[in-house]
């Protein structure tokens, strides 16, 4: 059965649905009108739901049913105080957290059995909160503050956030931590920095507290890129402009995107979780803001902010990315997410 992937096109207000066949053919099968500036995207594969953050007035989180033809059918909406730039779900799909970069806050909310997002239960504040994640055990939540160079860490219980002790884990000053990901066992956390182009490595103890263990470079060292800063124009000054990162299914590699040179870096990860400096850099879509690894670990799909196409790569055993196919998506593509294999029968659509 083909894999399904979703790409949010912020400039068009749409989400494109792609199928990927077993032989690596990429085909756009649907385009769904969601709303202006649609960006952040998270998938509940078990219930065939997609949640999309949109820059409407007021900003909101839209719950969509994933239909059999790949279209997203909006079924409910939750208004929020400011545009959310990252969404994450608990493993059971019953809790959602969101981070707002411009609003400088993180929030937690319940999600009911139909996928409707409930009112905010907890709100936390740090400057320029860029991403968030819930640990695989569902008991700990993390918010990355690019503005304060830290990862805020919380216990998550009954949709409520309670600070851990200590409440934050530091990142190197001026590094601009941006996006994070956890290993499937929850033992390791990796954070991509925007200004220094590094993959930060944290170990995670039994109560969820993070401890920085090291870092690795994830930008091409031969391109003349320099350390960036707040307020800079990375393209005009040729500065590091890190964005997204994702792990391989077996956690042997981490891939990181850098937007000034439009590359995907392959970061090897040792058996003990230690990342090593990237030595392979694959050219990809212009300003690769978002990408994702297919659930079976065979493919990587990448989108670019300044491109109207997405690129599909085959993942080789040594972490090499081999181009396979390319397809039209839309303007301002920001996010890529996959639907995990599911045997659920789709429910019929209802009106928003």
pLDDT, tens digit (0-9, with 9 covering 90-100), for 150-173: 999 999 999 999 999 999 999 999
Mean pLDDT along residues 61-74: 98
Rounded to an integer, what is the distance from CA 166 to the centroid of its chain?
A: 25
Q: pLDDT class for 345, splitting at 50, 70, 90? A: very low
Report the percentage of the chain scoring pLDDT > 70.
97
Q: What is the pLDDT of residue 342?
A: 63
154 strand-pairing partners: 141, 163
Q: Are 258 and 218 a contacting pair, CB within 8 Å?
A: yes
Main-chain dihedrals φ then ψ at residue 295, nearest 5 degrees: -55, -30
Mean pLDDT along residues 115-140: 98
Give the whole-angstrom CA distance, residue 84 versus residue 8.
14
- Residue 83, pLDDT above cutoff 90: yes
Give the whole-angstrom CA distance, residue 138 versus residue 89.
9
Q: pLDDT class for 341, splitting at 50, 70, 90? A: confident
Q: Are 192 and 178 a contacting pair, CB within 8 Å?
A: yes
Instruction: Work out the widest C-alpha separation in the chain, in whole angstroms.
Output: 54
pTM of the model: 0.96
Q: pLDDT class for 348, splitting at 50, 70, 90? A: very low
Compute the mean pLDDT over every residue in the chain, rounded to the nearest whole number. Answer: 95
- Residue 59, pLDDT above cutoff 80: yes
Alpha-carbon dihedral angle through residues 337, 86, 36, 52, given to the nearest 10 degrees: 50
- Cβ burial 5-24 (10 Å sphere, 16+ → b, else e): bbbbbbebbbbbbbbbeeee
- Residue 344, pLDDT above cutoff 70: no
Reported as a single tens digit per residue, the pLDDT across 178-211 is 999 999 999 999 999 999 999 999 999 999 999 9
Give the whole-angstrom CA distance, residue 47 versus residue 129.
28
Give all domains of the chain, ordered by start, each with its CATH number: 85-329 (2.130.10.10)
Q: What is the pLDDT of residue 222?
A: 96
> Which tokens belong to 206?
């039994």
3 state DSSP class of 20: strand
């Amino acid at each position: 059965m083909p894999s399904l992937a979703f790409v949010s096109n912020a400039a068009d207000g749409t989400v494109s649905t792609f199928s990927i066949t077993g032989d690596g053919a990429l085909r756009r099968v649907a385009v769904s009108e969601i709303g202006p500036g649609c960006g952040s995207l998270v998938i509940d594969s078990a219930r065939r739901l997609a949640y999309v953050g949109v820059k409407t007035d007021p900003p909101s989180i839209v719950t969509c049913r994933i239909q059999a033809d790949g279209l997203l059918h909006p079924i409910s909406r939750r208004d929020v105080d400011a545009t959310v730039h990252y969404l994450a779900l608990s493993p059971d799909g019953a809790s959602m957290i969101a981070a707002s970069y411009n609003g400088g806050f993180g929030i937690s909310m319940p999600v009911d059995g139909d996928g409707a997002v409930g009112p905010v239960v907890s709100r936390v504040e740090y400057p320029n909160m860029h991403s968030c994640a819930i640990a695989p055990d569902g008991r700990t939540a993390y918010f990355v503050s690019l503005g304060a160079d830290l990862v805020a860490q919380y216990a998550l219980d009954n949709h409520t956030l309670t600070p851990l002790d200590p409440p934050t884990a530091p990142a190197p000053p001026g590094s601009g931590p941006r996006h994070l990901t956890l290993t499937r066992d929850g033992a390791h956390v990796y954070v991509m920095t925007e200004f220094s182009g590094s993959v930060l490595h944290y170990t995670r103890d039994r109560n969820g507290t993070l401890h920085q263990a090291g870092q690795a470079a994830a930008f091409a060292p031969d391109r003349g890129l320099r350390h960036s800063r707040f307020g800079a124009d990375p393209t005009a000054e040729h500065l590091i402009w890190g964005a997204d990162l994702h792990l391989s299914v077996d956690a042997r590699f981490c891939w990181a995107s850098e937007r000034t040179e439009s590359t995907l870096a392959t970061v090897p990860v040792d058996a003990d979780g230690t990342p090593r400096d990237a030595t392979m850099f694959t050219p990809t879509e212009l300003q690769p803001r978002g990408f994702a690894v297919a659930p079976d670990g065979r493919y990587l799909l990448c989108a670019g902010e300044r491109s109207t196409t997405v690129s599909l790569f085959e993942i080789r055993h040594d972490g090499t990315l081999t181009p396979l196919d390319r397809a039209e998506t839309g303007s301002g593509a920001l996010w890529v997410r996959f639907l995990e294999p599911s045997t659920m029968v789709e429910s019929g659509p209802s009106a928003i």
